Homo-oligomer: A and B are copies of this chain.
Amino acid sequence: MQTFFVQIKCELGRTYEVAEALADQERHSEIYSTAGDYDLIVKYHVDDGVDLGQFVGRHVHSVEGVRDTYTLITFKAF
């Protein structure tokens, strides 16, 4: 399995709308709204073969209200 995080900057005032849309997809393992430079952090566990770039493009960038994203790849869990 691949674990990765996507930090999401949302259009002003649409953070919770974006979070709920992502949650409805039921692809995530966790979604939190956060303080700081980004508004949301989403954790995904996906099969090894999955192309993460395409996954983010297809399932995150396509959500209304998403302004920018930063994909955080994990190497190893301790």
Contacts and interface: CB of A to CB of B under 8 A. Distances in A.
Interface of A: 3-5, 12-16, 19-20, 22-23, 30-37, 39, 41, 48, 51-54, 57-58, 61-62, 66-78
Contacts of A15: 53, 57
Contact of A32 (B30, B32, B37, B75): B75
A4 B48 CA distance: 16
Contacts of A4: 35
B70 A32 contact: no
B68 A35 contact: no
B51 A75 contact: yes
The 8 closest A-B CB pairs, nearest first, are A53-B75, A33-B53, A13-B61, A32-B74, A31-B78, A35-B71, A33-B75, A23-B78
